[in-house]
Amino acid sequence: MATPILVPHLGSADQKLKVSLWLSRVGEQVLAGDRVVELLIPGITFDVESPCSGTIISCDCQPGAEVCEGSVLGWIDEMKPDPSAELE
């Protein structure tokens, strides 16, 4: 199941947000909470965390792209839980 990486609510609706750089690449495994992309707000940077564990399958917004709160930055193929792990 693909899960979107979204621009979170930052309280900056009146300011322009730009994608600075991707900290993870397509095909890379990430864990929930890992920093995956950096956004720029005039004067500060903000890291967006992975919403789930899995594999980055697309980086839709390239560095320099303007985005707004709620925009889809990319997608993660969510890692399915290992049922055998529950038996331990």
Statement: residue 87 has pLDDT above 60: no
pTM, 2 dp: 0.84
Q: 82 falls in which pLDDT band (50, 70, 90)?
A: low
Fold classification of 2-80 is OB fold (Dihydrolipoamide Acetyltransferase, E2P) (2.40.50)
The domain spans of the chain are: 2-80
Gyration radius from the chain CA atoms = 14
pLDDT of 86: 57
Neighbours of 5 (CB within 10 A): 26
Each residue's pLDDT tens digit, 37-69? 999 988 889 999 999 999 999 999 999 999 999
pLDDT of 56: 97
pLDDT of 15: 76
Q: For the purposes of burial, counting CB atoms within 10 Å of the CB of 6, is it exposed (0-12), middle (13-18) or buried (19 or more)? A: middle
